[in-house]
């Protein structure tokens, strides 16, 4: 019996390797190159819009679930495992043969249903749209999980429905599922808001983990673990390409407001008012070497102005 399982998982690994070896070039998408030495995968990255067109999703029918299972078996099983626990062959065999996991982070365990990227408060389940977006964007492309935006929208909704079948939490908590937090349009930054954001950063002790200038090297950084007991490093804010979620202003606002469940990154929802949150967002963004305050300001002001002109002309 053991032997059969081993053969099956090797076959699955080969399958996964073949799938992840596909080189796909889409319009506007960049083809992933093996750059980091750890990167195994060659999917197109996604920088564009990942919002679903069908914002209400697709009605979950047995047929859709069956389709979702098919997508899962084709594209996700190698990493997330047949039972959805994250122990797929890519993870397991990496340890066995290479003596090191090829993936820097373990694939999500869908049986626990604890998700990092949520528009919902800390401890809640994500919305279907949250899952749809994570699957579309991928998680730190070329390292953890490829972007699946190239899949037709129906395939992505189907696999969202399917991965939810791995945990009872979805049914048990359906009635008291919390609403997404509201995020307004960000106010344009200025020098004062960035200085104020630096104070909020100190007050909230973000630097304990993220370090004095956001390099991810604070005094508490060594030895941090995620809920599975695996080592985890606080994000380096100076490199936006390494964000697991969205690195734009609204994305950062969401991250520290809802927290990344399953990791030491807490929710600060109860400690910050609206003004402080945007100050903190801009301070975090200002740590990127390429950040240009004037350019960002001008761009945002003219976008707002354009919107106002458009709205005014519609009123007439
Ligand atoms: C190459 C391996 C790999 C493949 C293939 C893969 N994933 Fe993942 N996935 C990961 C890893 C690794 C993580 C955890 C990343 C992290 O914790 O930062 C993850 C996390 C996730 C998450 C959790 C996001 C969150 O908010 O916590 C979802 C949902 C997900 N994957 C869905 C899928 C689906 C659906 C597919 C197939 C269409 C898929 N994955 C294919 C490796 C993979
Ligand atoms: C106890 C340690 C700890 C504290 C305190 C902390 N963080 Fe984090 N933070 C983390 C860890 C660990 C990660 C990486 C999580 C991961 O890789 O999934 C992270 C990730 C992030 C991310 C990146 C999310 C992404 O998409 O990759 C942002 C933004 C962030 N933290 C902001 C903050 C801010 C702002 C504060 C203070 C208000 C703060 N953090 C306080 C541990 C901490």
What pLDDT is stored for residue 30 in this prediction?
37
The protein residue with its alpha carbon nearest to ligand 2, atom 42, reads 265
pTM for this model (two decimals): 0.87
pLDDT mean for each 10 residues of the chain (316 residues): 41 40 34 40 64 90 97 96 93 67 85 97 96 93 85 96 98 92 95 97 97 96 92 94 92 97 97 97 96 92 80 68
The whole-angstrom separation of Cα 210 and Cα 235 is: 7
Please give the distance, rounded to the nearest whole angstrom, from the Cα atom of residue 96 to the centre of ligand 2.
31
Please give the distance, rounded to the nearest whole angstrom, from the Cα atom of residue 231 to the centre of ligand 2.
14
Closest ligand to Cα 110: 1
Query: Cα 261–262–267 angle (5° rounding)?
Result: 35
| Nearest residue to 135 via CA among 164, 107, 111, 159 | 159
> Right CATH number for 191-306 from 3.40.50.300, 1.10.3720.10, 1.10.760.10, 1.10.3210.10?
1.10.760.10
The whole-angstrom separation of Cα 182 and Cα 279 is: 17
Q: Relative to the CA of 226, which ligand 2 atom is closest?
A: 12
What pLDDT is stored for residue 101 in this prediction?
65
> Would you list the domain boundaries of the chain?
2-172, 191-306
The whole-angstrom separation of Cα 115 and Cα 133 is: 13
DSSP 120-176: SPTTSPPPHHHHHHHHHH-BTTTTSB---TTS-HHHHHHHHHHHGGG-THHHHTSTT
> Which two structure tokens, joined as six digits, stand for 149?
């935006």
Q: Relative to the CA of 268, which ligand 2 atom is closest?
A: 38
The whole-angstrom separation of Cα 219 and Cα 253 is: 24
The whole-angstrom separation of Cα 148 and Cα 138 is: 6
- 3-state secondary structure (DSSP) of residue 9: helix
Please give the distance, rounded to the nearest whole angstrom, from the Cα atom of residue 168 to the centre of ligand 2.
28
What pLDDT is stored for residue 115 in this prediction?
98
DSSP 37: S
Ligand 1: which of 108, 111, 114, 228 to mutate, most ligand atoms within 8 Å of CB?
108
Question: Does 240 contact ligand 2 (Cβ within 6 A)?
Answer: no
Q: Relative to the CA of 134, which ligand 1 atom is closest?
A: 24
């Amino acid at each position: 019996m053991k032997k059969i399982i081993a053969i099956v998982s090797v076959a699955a690994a080969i399958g996964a390797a073949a799938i992840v070896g596909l080189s796909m070039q889409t319009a506007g998408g960049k083809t992933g190159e093996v750059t980091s030495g750890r990167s195994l995968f060659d999917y197109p990255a996604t920088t564009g819009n990942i919002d679903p067109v069908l914002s209400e999703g697709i009605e979950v029918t047995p047929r859709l679930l069956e389709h979702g299972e098919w997508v899962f078996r084709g594209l996700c099983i190698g990493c997330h495992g047949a039972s959805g626990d994250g122990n797929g062959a890519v993870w397991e065999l990496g340890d066995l043969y290479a003596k090191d996991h090829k993936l820097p982070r373990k694939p999500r365990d869908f049986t626990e249903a604890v998700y990092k990227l949520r528009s919902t408060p800390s401890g809640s389940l994500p919305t279907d749209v949250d899952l749809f977006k994570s699957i579309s964007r991928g998680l730190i492309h070329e390292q953890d999980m490829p972007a699946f935006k190239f899949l037709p929208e129906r395939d992505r909704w189907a696999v969202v429905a399917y991965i939810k079948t791995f945990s009872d939490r979805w049914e048990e908590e359906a009635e008291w599922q919390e609403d997404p937090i509201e995020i307004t349009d960000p106010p344009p930054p200025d020098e004062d808001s960035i200085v104020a954001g630096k104070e909020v950063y100190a007050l909230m002790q973000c630097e304990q983990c993220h370090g004095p200038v956001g390099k991810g090297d604070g005094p508490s950084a060594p030895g941090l673990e995620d809920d599975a007991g695996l080592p985890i490093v606080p994000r380096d804010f100076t490199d936006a390409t390494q964000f697991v979620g969205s690195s734009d202003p609204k994305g950062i606002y969401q991250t520290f407001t809802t927290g990344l469940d399953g990791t030491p990154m807490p929710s600060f929802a109860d400690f910050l008012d609206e003004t402080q949150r945007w100050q903190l967002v801009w301070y975090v963004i200002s740590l990127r070497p390429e950040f240009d305050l004037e350019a960002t300001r001008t761009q945002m002001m003219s976008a707002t102005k354009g919107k106002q002109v458009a709205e005014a002309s519609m009123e007439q």
